[in-house]
Amino acid sequence: MTATGTAARRARPHAGPGWMVMALACAAQFMVILDASIVNVALPSVREDLGFTSTGLAWVVNGYLLTFAGLMLLGGRAADLFGPRRMLAAGLLLFSASSLAGGLATAPEVLVAARVAQGVGAAMMAPATLAVINISFTEPKARAKAFGAWSASGGVGGMAGAVAGGAITTGLSWRWVFLINVPIGAVLIAVALLSLAGARTGRREPLDLTGAVTGTAGLAALIYGVMQSADHSWTSVPVAGPVVAGLLLLVTFTLIEARFATRPMVPLRLFRIRGVAAGNGTLVLFGGITIAMWYFTSLFLQNVLGFSALQAGLGQTPAAVTFAVVARWAATLLPRTGVRPLMLAGSACFLAGFGWLAQAGAGSGYVTGVLGPTLLVAAGIGLVFPTLMAAATAGVPEGDAGTVGGLANTAGQVGGSVGLAVLATAAGGRAASEAGGGSLDAALAAGAKAASEAAGAPPAAAALAAGYDLVFLIAAGLGVAIAAASLLLPRHRRD
């Protein structure tokens, strides 16, 4: 290859037009996030059809989330070593095949195994989509636009889950929640092979197996322990054991990467890049914001205002649309304004929106109590998310694009998992106190049943509203923390 040909290949590391590459990355990210939530509405039908126990049914959700979050660092490094096209196509293939297996499942064990495999496929896909954007769009305006579209697609995917899951389960069958991924996945695999170049982005080197094992096991154990906190106290063995083991494994992983690995899975030199270090730390805080917004607002609508799951999804749709529109708008502003003004504006939206939302109670109306403040918070998420992802992946060598993409996705997932556990504990404790005492488990159980047991709904709804209001106040505090953390991000406007 001539020098001119080599330069052209580096400048344009994709084989198809830019719009096709962007559409591919956005569609793959949409699928990954959609499948984290679309199954929730279908769970009652799944339990009735396949005979799940209550404990086993939780693993239809947790099996996906655990492998997705735990394996993203490994998926990101693999994208650098083997190329984002290979990893994205392989992830799509595994994701589609496991969706087919899940849709055809006739036993609980088969469906859980399929969801675990889906999580593995998602962990391969998500970092690869970020790597594709990072290496395909190097001009600031184009890169910002791509990040805006990618961010919007993930956010809309998360919100579309409740509506799409309810519609598909009601109109067809819960099985189509999974089967619909098969033809879409087949199309995306073809697009990936046609539109992306096959070259690797990194050096030809073996995978750091010791780092891969300790890092993946540490993340999986930490997230598993946090998930267990929904049913056990933080000091219990089922929670404290995995959390401590996970933290010890992550410390071991850090020592291996710093001192012993000749080709580390996560080169610690990346954290010398200001955007990577500050951006990933801020993404952990941001994970709590998104959980407070989408998850707890949905619970407020159902358990306090009496909405069905489908109605709650529709009730959050205006916020999802606002997020998508603002995210695209923020992407056009980013090259001109730089990171900090957008981050600070978004944080102001968090403070105002969550502060307003924390005033809502059992007697509040939807429009003034929920719609108004959630539109503010959604606008803040639209300003912050694409800006933060761009900052956290900017200035990274091409050969590390997948690794940094895996880091950014992992930071957000860990922040969301820990945020969910901490905020649920706070909400349950406050609800139990408002209900006149009792155990935290009893308060949480009452919350789960409040929407379906009309006779006990009014007092339960008032107590739960107090718990959710505390969550929203904590989220307002996270908004202030994000504003402070944004001052550590790079000033420059080129990211």
pLDDT tens-digit map of 151-178: 777 777 776 776 777 778 777 888 988 9
Q: Which two tokens stand for residue 55?
A: 């404990």
Query: Of the residues 264, 284, 311, which one is the last residue of a structural domain?
Result: 264
Query: What is 263-299 written as a DSSP string?
Result: S-SS-GGGGGSHHHHHHHHHHHHHHHHHIIIIIHHHH
Q: Are residues 472 and 356 in the same domain?
A: yes
Per-residue confidence band for 82, with pLDDT thresholds at 50, 70 and 90:
confident
State how far the Cα of 392 lies from the Cα of 117, in Å rounded to an integer: 28
- Between CA 464 and CA 470 the distance in angstroms is 10
Q: Where are the alpha helices (DSSP H) in 140-201?
A: 140-171, 176-179, 181-195
pLDDT at 262 > cutoff 80: no
Rounded to a whole number of angstroms, the CA Rg of the chain reads: 22
pLDDT bucket at 491, cuts 50 / 70 / 90: low
Cα-based distances in Å from 80 to 135, 199, 332, 406, 434: 11, 10, 28, 10, 52
Q: Are residues 148 and 134 in the same domain?
A: yes
Residues 20-30 pLDDT 10s: 888 888 888 88
Of 206, 233, 253, the position where a domain reaches its end is: 206
Residue 2 lies in a domain: no
| More confident: 321 or 452 | 321
- What is the rounded average pLDDT of the residues 224-246? 85
Identify which has the larger pLDDT, 57 or 202.
57
386 with 325, same domain?
Answer: yes
What is the pTM (predicted TM-score) of this model? 0.75
Residue 326 sits in the same domain as residue 185: no
In a domain? residue 3: no
> Is pLDDT at 97 greater than 90 in this prediction?
yes
CA dihedral 240, 245, 248, 254 (to 10 degrees): -120
Please indicate, yes or no, if residue 6 is contained in any of the structural domains. no
Q: What is the pLDDT of residues 286-319, one digit of tens each?
A: 988 887 887 788 888 888 888 876 777 788 889 8
Tokens of 157: 């995917």
- Find the CATH number of the domain harbouring 435: 1.20.1250.20
> pLDDT tens digits for 342-384?
999 999 999 999 999 999 988 888 998 999 999 999 999 999 9
pLDDT at residue number 137: 79
- Report if residue 220 sits inside a domain: yes
Is there a domain that residue 58 lies in?
Answer: yes
pLDDT of 456 over the 60 cut: no
Q: Residues 443, 444, 450, 456: what is their CA dihedral angle, to the nearest 10 degrees?
A: -20
Q: Is the pLDDT of residue 52 over 90?
A: no
Domain containing residue 485 = 272-495
Q: Do 364 and 392 reside in the same domain of the chain? A: yes
* Whether 257 and 298 share a structural domain: no
354 or 146, greater pLDDT: 354
How many domains, the chain? 3
**Which pLDDT value is given to residue 114?**
94
Q: Hey, is 196 helix, strand or coil?
A: strand
135 in a structural domain: yes
In the chain, the amino acid numbered 405 is G
Report how far residue 354's alpha carbon sits from residue 255's, in angstroms, rounded to the nearest whole number: 40
Q: Is 448 domain-assigned?
A: yes
Least confident of 295-299, 388-392, 412-416, 459-463: 459-463
Q: How far is Cα 391 from Cα 151, in angstroms, rounded to an integer?
A: 13
258 plus 393 within the same structural domain: no
pLDDT at 205: 64
Same domain, 358 and 436: yes
- Answer whether residue 276 is part of any domain: yes
Cα distances (Å, whole numbers) of residue 140 to 47, 455, 492, 493: 49, 58, 11, 9
324 and 276 inside one domain: yes
257 shares a domain with 121: no
Q: Which amino acid is at 430?
A: R
User: Do 235 and 299 share a domain, yes or no?
Assistant: no
Which of 171, 134, 69, 121 minimizes the C-alpha distance to 394? 134
Give yes or no: residues 364 and 481 share one domain. yes
Is residue 416 over pLDDT 90? no
